[in-house]
Amino acid sequence: MNRISPLTRYATVAIAVAVVGFLVVAALILPVQRPAAADRVSTEGQANLLCPALPTDRAESTVALAAPDAAVPGDLSARRISETQADPVPAGALVHRPGNESPVQVRADGARSAEFGAAVLARSRTALDRGLSVSRCLTPSTEAWFAGVYSSENARSEIELINPDSAQATVDLQFFGADGERAAPGGRGITVDAKSSRVVAVESLFTSDTPTSVHLTTSIGRVAAVVRQRTSDRTAATGTDWLAPATLPRTSQVIPAVPGGTGERELVVANPGERRTTARVEIITADGTVAPADADQLDVNARSTATIRLDAGLKEAAAAVRITTDQPVIASVRAVSADDVAFTAAADPLQGRAVAAIGTADGVAGTLQLSNTADTTAVVPVTAFDESGEVGRADVEVPAHGTATWSIPGTGSAVLVDAGQLTGLYGGVVLRSTNGPGLASTGLTVPAGASGASAPQHDPGVAR
């Protein structure tokens, strides 16, 4: 029999203790995600965003252009869609310009295309555009999806189509309602002249007591599209906001930046496929991820749109909503406050250095909402800056399967979120007026290609 010497025995015990100590320390360290540096976009990169036209009749309106880091090479400029002369935006600057009734095209070149943002804000106490409206500016494409478009006696919607190219674009619209695909004479072959925009009033195509969803495609050219929605109570306007495009149909969708507070929270899910599906609904709050009582499932027929109320399950909490299905779907949430309405659509996860060009405004407070679907805590560096420079920064700790918020400092400030290569992180900004009616929710500008969204395919019919 081999005997183990005391020295060998003690060495073995020491090694075991060291291994256990290492594992304990590792267990404390590994569950935290910290953003790895995102790869910079090549200096040959270019990105274009299109900002919707802004109401000017009895409404305050602003276009915000953000180029956060002065050290990033490349140019940022902006011009009206119909003009050829562009105005430069200085590196490291945040610029606010009065809104106008013409869409604005924002162009970023070189590495700047990986770190910039643009957004629009409109606010009115009275008249048709009563309330607070905020939207990030959008990338032109050949396809867009919108969940939750309202066209009834108490709600009117307009689809703005913006063509940045030097050739005409042709657009087709499909509508999916509660009872299936809707006939919409006039929804096909809509032409948008070169370097111009066109507004399509949904009520001119049909009306419906329930929300519908829209699939936009172009047969020629490309457009940026956004929906402007106005609600009323038959006697006066009760709220206005933009609805941005949702992510392309998928079997898993996350709707970030659902505002907390009282009022209706309505989930809208559209199923463009040929088979019925059941959506499993979860809400992601500061307390974790749960299935809301009596609203944990939603049946959606083929080529149809369905809704379910979430306010009882949310219990006034700031949240994100996650849905999973066996058929690709799109989704959004409508949030109603005492004096306004806001819409937030399913979004891609944040990666790279994402920017919200409007984080606060004069008389408007903003809150950054970050939700984490990963199994580990994420620590996310965020920075607020205004026209004079940085006004605040923090490392926001977002728990696994939870939501965290950060009150954005300053007035007229923007936000830079350094998500790096984190996984499962979603976010947006919720804005509230401090001196009048107003609620809005908006997404962030994510660097082109950073989110993992499907890469655009070459189409010879797309204008260049």
pLDDT along the chain (464 residues), means of 10: 41 41 42 59 73 78 92 93 91 88 93 94 83 95 97 92 97 97 94 97 93 98 96 85 97 98 97 98 98 96 98 96 98 95 97 96 96 98 96 98 98 96 97 92 82 40 48
What SS3 state is found at 165? coil
Distance CA 92, CA 71 (A): 8
User: Do the domain assignments include residue 374?
Assistant: yes
User: Do the domain assignments include residue 384?
Assistant: yes
Q: How many domains does one find in the chain?
A: 1
User: Do the domain assignments include residue 51?
Assistant: yes
> For residue 6, with 0-12 CB atoms within 10 Å meaning exposed, 13-18 middle and 19 or more buried, which class applies?
exposed
In this prediction, residue 28 carries a pLDDT of 43
Strands (E) located in 81-154? 87-88, 93-98, 104-109, 117-124, 131-136, 143-149
With contact defined as beta carbons under 8 Å apart, do 303 and 272 qualify? yes
User: Do the domain assignments include residue 309?
Assistant: yes
* Strand 32-33 to 377-386 pairing: parallel
With contact defined as beta carbons under 8 Å apart, do 242 and 345 qualify? no
User: Do the domain assignments include residue 460?
Assistant: no
With contact defined as beta carbons under 8 Å apart, do 338 and 263 qualify? yes
Side chain identity at residue 407, one-letter code: S
User: Do the domain assignments include residue 455?
Assistant: no
Range of the domain at 118: 46-442
In this prediction, residue 436 carries a pLDDT of 80
With contact defined as beta carbons under 8 Å apart, do 395 and 379 qualify? yes
Distance CA 227, CA 177 (A): 17
Distance CA 245, CA 270 (A): 13
What SS3 state is found at 416? strand
User: Do the domain assignments include residue 454?
Assistant: no
Distance CA 51, CA 138 (A): 6
With contact defined as beta carbons under 8 Å apart, do 356 and 347 qualify? no
Cα end-to-end span (Å), the chain: 83
Distance CA 117, CA 415 (A): 9
Report residue 30 CA to chain centroid gap. Answer: 29
With contact defined as beta carbons under 8 Å apart, do 53 and 103 qualify? yes
With contact defined as beta carbons under 8 Å apart, do 333 and 443 qualify? no
Specify the DSSP element, H or E, that contains 14. helix 6-29
Distance CA 96, CA 357 (A): 9
Task: Give pTM, 2 decimals.
Answer: 0.89
User: Do the domain assignments include residue 373?
Assistant: yes
Other Cβ atoms less than 10 A from the Cβ of 2: the count is 3
In this prediction, residue 448 carries a pLDDT of 67
With contact defined as beta carbons under 8 Å apart, do 68 and 89 qualify? no
Smallest CA-to-CA distance from 89 within 72, 103, 106 is with 106
